[in-house]
Structure 1
Amino acid sequence: MESEKITSELQFKAVRSSGAGGQNVNKVSSKVVLYFDLKNSQAISDEEKLLLENKLANRLTSEKILILNCDEDRSQLKNKAIVIKRFLDIITAGLVVPKIRKATNVSKSVIRKRIKDKKNLSEIKKSRRKPDF
């Protein structure tokens, strides 16, 4: 996956933002909404698409479109940069294949140490008891 190729497939929409900004917020569209069509993407291979569909299932629409928005800043350009970075982070995290866990056995020295510790604790507790006459 190339970030330049994938960012060329992104679609943006500027919307009026809520929150801080005073009177400026009523006349400037500073909120940025990012749309990415996963199903029709040319930058991602079919295997990567399947992996992303599984990992991002709760974030995708029924048409397999990823929608992200950002209205953190009063500047539209900064919001666009933030949402692109967030998108790239989500995609790279979604493409990470988890390592297969190998089952291992507990070593004999660990078992011996555990039993020794149990016996030691048992002796300590036994010494605290009232003597039996």
Structure 2
Amino acid sequence: MIPVTGSLSIEDDEISISFIRAGGPGGQNVNKVSSAAQLRFDARHSPSLNARIRERLERIAGSKLTKDGIIVITANRFRTQEANREDAVERLVEMIAEAAHQPKFRVPTKPSRAAKKKRVEEKVKRGTVKKLRSRRPSSED
């Protein structure tokens, strides 16, 4: 069981991890060792997620989501299989936690008439101060 939030967790058998060869620098070791982890999670058919979380998760996943609703995460930041496996699982957990977070409902408000009037008066006052500063000294000075 992989904990995501206090009330949400996913089963270990819901994810599958396979190891593939990682590209990039590393010499001959790159060609011999399959150290990159590829995690697959069927978000569309997961019994752990409710409809709201599933919908938000599919939106958040973006290009990591296949047409069948499977999230594919490839982790190859580290040189060991174990570190890449942990990295892939951690990235999935972060993604699900973000989807589970309910954004706060915001009621848009408008400034009051008094606030608008005060703002205009302050602008006028500031404009007069600037105008007074830009006046050239008279010939009497």
Q: Same fold (TM over 0.5)?
A: yes
Task: After superposition, give the CA deviation of every residue in 1:29-79 in whole Å (9 maximum; x if it has no partner).
Answer: 101000011122122123332332344344311100000001111100000
**Equivalent in the alignment of 1:82:** 87
Partner of residue 99, structure 1:
104
Residue number among 26, 47, 53 corresponding to 1:21 in the alignment: 26
Question: How far apart, CA to CA, are the structure 1 residues paired with 2:50 and 2:131?
Answer: 66
Looking at structure 1, the residues matched to 127 and 26 of structure 2 have their Cα atoms a distance apart, in angstroms, of 68
SS in 2 for 1:36: strand
Q: Counterpart of 1:70 in structure 2: which amino acid?
A: A
Contact 1:69 1:83 in 2 (8 A): yes
Structure 1, unaligned runs of 5 or more: none
Matched residue type, 1:120: K
TM-score by length of 1: 0.81
TM-score where L is the length of structure 2 = 0.77
The DSSP-based 3-state class of the residue aligned with 2:14 is coil
Task: Give me the CA root mean square deviation.
Answer: 2.5
Alpha-carbon separation, structure 1, partners of 2:49 and 2:116: 49
> What is the aligned length?
131
Identify the residue that residue 117 of structure 1 maps to in structure 2.
122
Note if contact 1:56-1:94 (Cα within 8 Å) is conserved in structure 2. Answer: no
Q: Is the 8 A contact 2:38 2:73 kept in 1?
A: yes
CA contact (8 A) 1:59 1:67 kept: yes
Which consecutive unaligned segments of at least 5 residues does structure 2 have?
137-141
Cα-to-partner distance string for 1:82-116 (whole Å, 9 max, x where unaligned): 11001100111122222222122314553243122
- Paired with 1:73 and 1:54, the residues of 2 have a C-alpha distance of 28
Name the % identity. Answer: 29
